[in-house]
Chain A
Amino acid sequence: MGSRLGGTGVEEPVDRVYVGNINVTARRARELLLGKLKLGDVIDWATTFSLWPVHLLTSCCGAEFAATWSPRFDAEQYGALPWVAPRQTNLIIIEGTVTRKMACALRITYEQMPHPKFVIAMGACALDGGLFYNSYNIVRPWEVVPVDIYIPGCPPPPEAVARAIIELRRKIREKKLASRWLVEGWRHDREPVKPVDDVCKWWRP
């Protein structure tokens, strides 16, 4: 039996990884990265553990978003860290209702982010209007940006947000979204979304 503590000189079991055992984790990761996998798989694997959502707070779902990263639910264990600057992030979580003025900000934020980038729509308002289904001042987020994961609920609980991040990780690993996006230059599994309305007055001659 090997010791669970690293650095003791005793041979450790290689078939399992204990969180916090830095020697075993490093050896395991070296074998995983350099021994067996192709570089694209490594990129997908690395992207799944570095999903940084930009904090684009449009509505009351931001309270649940904040609770997701609180110590009780701790979504940072999935490698996701909320960040303020869109140019250093690769994930948007649309937190609720998107008004017509905010749609412009959403599109600008999406354009600023580097590839590969992903979008999660959170809450009933981001799905199909929700409470404001007949309002004159909202847009559907899927008319503005390509949405990968939808989270229903009004508002969704923090567990649902964490679940959406896990689903996005599974989707990236299975469809090889990140590596193929970097190699081919575009998303191979879907068409790019052009906004239905002229949200930012960019089309005006």
Chain B
Amino acid sequence: MNLEEVVELIRGALGDLAKEITVRKGYVEVVVNPGDVVTAATKLKELGFDHVKSVTAVDYPKESRIRVTYHVSSYLRDDLARVIVGLSVDLSRENPVMDSLVGVWRSSEFQEREVYEFFGVVFKGHPDLRPLLLIPELAEKRVLRKDFIVREESIYEGVPHRYQ
């Protein structure tokens, strides 16, 4: 099964749920509405995509949206294992709330915790939504958003002021 047939399979399974399907080399990007994400994920899982490779998010501050992407693929079906499907949701930047997909893919639990602590995206229905890698004070700052500024220096300037 080549890539076009996989795309047709996904298009037939999702139907009207998919707002936009973009195909690149070995990668299929599917954008759905935030309300339809659990339904779309369930249909993708019934199709044979059985695990989540990564959950990530991209911050677009000018367009005031955050795009959360689930990269899913298959272990059990060889023809589907050659493609990676990105299931994407566009959320508002001020109040990013979406439904959790832990009930569909259990392997997305820790990765949703990471997206929660780095971007502030709240997953409704997540069993244990706590910061994973950061301390809670840092997680409140949403450190991977674009408006979090880290100190930069091109040349080492010696001991910083706060250590003197």
Question: Nearest Cβ in chain B — how far from A5, in angstroms?
Answer: 58
Across the interface, name the chain B residue whose C-beta is closest to A136.
B143
Proximity bits, A121-137, B CB within 8 Å = 1, else 0: 00000000000011111
A170 an interface residue at 8 Å Cβ cutoff?
no
Contact B143 A101 (CB under 8 A): no
Complex: how many Å from CA A101 to CA B134? 7
- Which of B138, B148, B153, B163 interacts with A100 by CB under 8 Å? B138
Contact A137 B138 (CB under 8 A): yes
Contact A134 B134 (CB under 8 A): no
Restricting to A117-166, which residues have a CB under 8 Å from any CB of B?
Answer: 133-137, 140
Question: Nearest Cβ in chain B — how far from A134, in angstroms?
Answer: 5
Contact B153 A134 (CB under 8 A): yes
Chain A: interface residue total (CB-CB under 8 A): 9
Question: Nearest Cβ in chain A — how far from B70, in angstroms?
Answer: 25
Most buried by B among A99, A135, A136: A136
Contact B150 A136 (CB under 8 A): yes
Contact B150 A100 (CB under 8 A): no
Restricting to B102-145, which residues have a CB under 8 Å from any CB of A?
Answer: 133-135, 138, 141, 143
Across the interface, name the chain B residue whose C-beta is closest to A99.
B133
Which DSSP category, helix, strand, loop or mixed, fits chain B's interface? Answer: loop
Across the interface, name the chain A residue whose C-beta is closest to B141.
A136
B5 an interface residue at 8 Å Cβ cutoff?
no
Contact A134 B135 (CB under 8 A): no
Contact B135 A135 (CB under 8 A): no
Contact B151 A100 (CB under 8 A): no
B4 an interface residue at 8 Å Cβ cutoff?
no
Proximity bits, A93-104, B CB within 8 Å = 1, else 0: 000000111000
Residues of B within 8 A of A100 (CB): 134-135, 138
B147 an interface residue at 8 Å Cβ cutoff?
no
Contact B134 A137 (CB under 8 A): yes
Proximity bits, A152-189, B CB within 8 Å = 1, else 0: 00000000000000000000000000000000000000
Residues of B within 8 A of A136 (CB): 138, 141, 143, 148, 150
- Which of A99, A134, A137 interacts with B151 by CB under 8 Å? A134
Complex: how many Å from CA A137 to CA B114? 14
Contact B150 A134 (CB under 8 A): yes
B152 an interface residue at 8 Å Cβ cutoff?
yes
Restricting to A186-202, which residues have a CB under 8 Å from any CB of B?
Answer: none
Residues of B within 8 A of A101 (CB): 133-135
Across the interface, name the chain B residue whose C-beta is closest to A201.
B135
Residues of A within 8 A of B134 (CB): 100-101, 137
Known pairs A100-B135, A100-B138, A134-B151 / 17 extra A-B pairs, C-beta < 8 Å: A100-B134, A101-B133, A101-B134, A101-B135, A133-B153, A134-B150, A134-B152, A134-B153, A135-B150, A136-B138, A136-B141, A136-B143, A136-B150, A137-B133, A137-B134, A137-B138, A140-B163
What residues make up the interface of B, taking CB atoms closer than 8 Å to A?
133-135, 138, 141, 143, 148, 150-153, 163
A-B contact pairs, 19 of them (CB 8 A): A99-B133, A100-B135, A100-B138, A101-B133, A101-B135, A133-B153, A134-B150, A134-B151, A134-B152, A135-B150, A136-B138, A136-B141, A136-B148, A136-B150, A137-B133, A137-B134, A137-B138, A137-B143, A140-B163
Closest 10 CB pairs of A and B: A134-B151, A134-B150, A100-B135, A136-B143, A134-B152, A136-B138, A101-B135, A137-B134, A136-B150, A137-B138
